[in-house]
Structure 1
Amino acid sequence: MTDKKHRTASPTDRRPDCVTETRMGNTVLIVSGFFKKDTTATAADKMMKVLEAETAAAPKPPYTA
């Protein structure tokens, strides 16, 4: 038995910004993503913040003179 949950879209709903479909055996996973409507940061800006945070959190090598 398969359970399928469908939601009917109303005129005020918006379409997802990205949709990813992944198959795992007999199962299909569909993930819909939405971005904020009024954002000014780009994906590159967000990735730069992630990389800066990782660099700041990385252990510093010991100082050798």
Structure 2
Amino acid sequence: MNRIRTAWARARGVAGDAGSATAEYVVATMAAVGFAGLLVIILKGDEVRTMLTDLVHRALSVGG
């Protein structure tokens, strides 16, 4: 009976942690995808595009 308990405890310990790293990768990947989607939405706006274009024009015309 003691061997069965020991084997069961080992199986639970291994199974409890199995896949946890994969789940962490999924959470981090989903957060990155969400952040990238938010950036795409923000950068598609006309105001942001105008600000970035003006910034690039000013940066390139400083030396001239």
The structure that is helix-richer by fraction is: 2
Larger Rg over CA atoms: 2
Q: Is the structural similarity TM-score above 0.5?
A: no
TM (norm. structure 2) is 0.29
Between 1 and 2, higher relative CO (CA 8 Å, sep ≥ 6) is seen in 1
The structure that is strand-richer by fraction is: 1
TM (norm. structure 1) is 0.29
